[in-house]
Chains A and B, each alone.
Chain A
């Protein structure tokens, strides 16, 4: 190979970059975050259900919250009718009544997924 030294050096740098996710995780276990569902309000529920089905909540809660804010600010609408026809106050307080703690619930997932909602700049949850 011509200029072998330089080319091999380049290839080693390439390998070091593309395999970063592998060697930086050596010895780590793949632990799923556990948002705390063991709160007094939830224990009192007959049916352990969130506002909408759990799968929907996991993926779409941020859209739901934003929709609540828009409803409130634009339409002056302060209640939300869920798909099972229950009516909730469109407010963060509703979530926190059941989920109580931002740290033990919301943040466990968010830290894991690397999201920092800018919403916290204006809203305080607990």
Chain B
């Protein structure tokens, strides 16, 4: 049901854009107003969400400790999986952001020959990594629509991505890989019973939406071509704040653009915020130094404590007189 609803919403969105452009000629709405609005919602929503997170106290010191903690000098500690200092935390965060370290540790619990076994499962890690990287490259490639002259690194990226040199327009690998990866992520949700059981509309919707974006982009690039020069007129108009809507851009472009706008506007209110959230995740960004420094819960009631030093100060004479050892004479 959740799956079906999300699917229908995405199809409906595509139909809205198509009908809006084909039947009602709302090119200016879909080409200019909605993109600006979506971008504003994205930026303001994103910042707002992060500030909200920043205002929430972290009551406990809860770094994940995935390796040997720093201890006696002759015990080798795991500096990246269980860091004690800022440098280590930065390293761990980099591993997390660039290589999805924690997902790499994903384990599957099962029974083999009557014994409990934990085996590593890397498929989600691999699928996720490929998905994110191809999405990133596709995004950077799109800079050719927002820069004039196009910076050389975008050209080089195109050349690398078009390495196969097949077809005309040239086949760009990452677009297809992105589509494949997002379909894999969907199939995994749909067919693994445990994952399916915990999947909600908020899980399916982004997947279908991204599938829609990738699919409409691929259709536009390879099949139902549009006049790219006019498209760039439109996108450059947006970023130079002198919006224009050239005549004769195919509807498929407006479908593609509208789905992207929905994705951007939806971003701050959805699980997609893990893009900013990963940096604010206490299990990742706290060093494991709870034995070195005391973490104080910011909302703690101001409890009166009586430390050992104060205790000894108070009772030193009495302690000495009954022969108890004291730290200071």
Contacts and interface: CB of A to CB of B under 8 A. Distances in A.
Say which size band chain A's interface belongs to.
35 or more
Interface stretch (A6-14, A40-48, A75-83, A90-98): A6-14
B54 A4 contact: yes
Interface residues of B, number: 49
A60 B239 CA distance: 27
19 contacts: A1-B55, A2-B54, A2-B58, A2-B298, A4-B54, A7-B51, A11-B47, A14-B50, A21-B239, A25-B147, A25-B240, A33-B229, A58-B230, A63-B169, A63-B225, A66-B168, A114-B158, A117-B170, A118-B165
Contacts of B46: 14
B144 interface: yes
A18 B233 CA distance: 20
Interface in B99-144: 143-144
Interface of A: 1-4, 7, 10-11, 14-15, 18-19, 21-22, 24-25, 28-33, 55, 58-60, 62-63, 65-66, 109, 111-119
Contacts of B57: 2
Given A28-B240, A59-B227, A113 B169 contact: no
B162 interface: yes
A109 B229 contact: yes
Interface of B: 42-43, 46-47, 50-51, 54-58, 143-144, 146-150, 154-155, 158-159, 162, 165, 167-170, 225-230, 232-233, 236-237, 239-242, 244, 248, 250, 276, 279-280, 298
